[in-house]
Structure formats: structure tokens, C-alpha cells
Amino acid sequence: MTETAVIAGVGPGLGESLARRFLDEGCRVGLFARSESYLEELSAELGESALAVPTDITDPTAVEAGFEAVRAEFGPIDVLLNHASGGAWEGVQDISPTAFERAWRVSAYGGLLCSQAAIPDMLEGDGGTIIFTGATSAVRGRDGAVGFSAAKFAVRGMAESMARELGPKGIHVAHVVIDGQISPPEGTAETDRAEEEFLDPDSIADSYWHLVTQDRSSWTLELDLRPHVEPF
């Protein structure tokens, strides 16, 4: 397959692993993130099939321009990975309304904007795939993380609604529940935890790619991923 994918919310870690994996499979990949310098460095490293598009995914105009830039370079969008996520790991007494809003805006509102920009290409073409990166807090509201929980639940609700609406039109919408901590990029963190307690981002990328390759007769809406030792 030579597909054009957009990864909205690339960063060191899973975002980069997804980019590398999709490139390895022959895709051309548009990378959205806010930091211009990080993106340029990354795309230089990834080669000609990767396009850095500094984009604030919470700004409708910027999102439209970002997709236009990818389209101009690689053609219509086939795959969208809504991968951006906002922190907001505070309890209800501590979180500011602004931080609560920010978590939602980056993951839910940004996910809507990117999806709305990508869907027309998919409908005109041969269908497509939209994958949302979720978390355990999308299925169990977490003590002390009211903003993150509300945002991740919102994303899951959006993904389910879109799956029901778009499936019959040939667009596969999926939601991946990542349960546990992803290995920090080498050299970025010291940790006492054993390696096997982390999710390997390259392994996560295997399951994202599997979702993209699923035949439309057997599509998955949701799967969970966790290290084999993770208590849950």
C-alpha cells in the first residue's frame, strides 16, 4: 500500500514509532506538532516520505492549512492518527478550569478538527482509517485526574459515534486503549522500573498497523494494549 497518513500530535516516543512504522510499510506521512524545530529535525531524519507541518491542531484554520500542505505533497489523506493528548493530571479541587479545558481541546476538539479535514478525502477515495489513541482513563475515570479522564472519555465517545456513522461509508474508526506506561525514549529518563513494565512503542505500532490492514469485513472498534506484567 502507498497510503498517505497524517499523525496529529507527534512527539518522541509513540508518535515517532508510528511514523517510522508507517514509513517502513511504504506510506507517506505528514507530521503535525507545535514545535517547529523538533519537527524539522525529525523529518530530516525520516527522509523524503515524511513531511513536517508545524500545526496547532486546536486552531481550525491551522488544521485546514496543515492538511492542505500534506495533500499538496503526497495527495489525498488515507489514514489519520489522532494522537495528541493533554495532561491535566490533577484532582477536582486543584485543577484550574483552564487546564481542564486545555486537556479537552487538545484531544477531543483537535481530534474533531483533524477528522473533519480528513474525512472528505477518504469518502472521495477508497475509504480510510482514523485511529484515536486512548488510555485507561478513557474507560475508568481516574482518581486525581479529572481533566485527563474527562478528555479521554470524550475522545472515546467521539470515536464510537464516528465508527457507527462512518463505518458504512467505508471509513474505519478505531480507538486504542493504552494501559500502562510507554518506554521513555533512550536517554530521556532514569527509572527504577524494569524494562518489561513498559509498553514498547514499536510493538504498539504493530497493532496500529494491524488496524489499518484489517479487511472491511472484520473491523475492530477498540482494542487494549498493556505490558504482560501490568496489574489491571
Residues 196 to 215 in contact with a copy of itself, rule: CB under 8 A: 196, 198-200, 203-204, 206-207, 210, 213-215
CB of 74 vs a copy of itself, minimal distance in Å: 23
CB of 52 vs a copy of itself, minimal distance in Å: 25
| Total interface residues for a copy of itself by CB under 8 A | 77
Near a copy of itself in 40-79, by CB under 8 A: 60
Please give the single-letter amino acid code of residue 3. Answer: E
Cα angle 101-155-146, degrees, rounded to a multiple of 5: 45
Nearer to a copy of itself, 37 or 218 (CB): 218
**Do the beta carbons of residue 85 and residue 7 sit within 8 Å?**
no
| Coil vs helix vs strand at 35 | coil
CB of 130 vs a copy of itself, minimal distance in Å: 10
CB of 11 vs a copy of itself, minimal distance in Å: 18
Strand pairing category for 181-182 and 171-178: unpaired
Among 47, 124, 168, 187, binds a copy of itself (CB under 8 A): 168
Nearer to a copy of itself, 48 or 215 (CB): 215
Near a copy of itself in 134-163, by CB under 8 A: 137-138, 140-146, 149-163
H or E stretch including 199? strand 198-199
Q: How far apart are CA 23 and CA 89, in angstroms?
A: 33
Q: How far apart are CA 183 and CA 192, in angstroms?
A: 12
The answer to the question of residue 101 lying near a copy of itself (CB under 8 A) is yes
Nearer to a copy of itself, 11 or 227 (CB): 227
Nearer to a copy of itself, 46 or 139 (CB): 139
How is residue 220 written as a grid cell?
A: 475492530
| Selection from 49, 41, 53 nearest residue 24 by Cα | 49
Nearer to a copy of itself, 71 or 226 (CB): 226
Q: How far apart are CA 214 and CA 223, in angstroms?
A: 13
How is residue 37 written as a grid cell?
A: 524545530
Nearer to a copy of itself, 56 or 224 (CB): 224
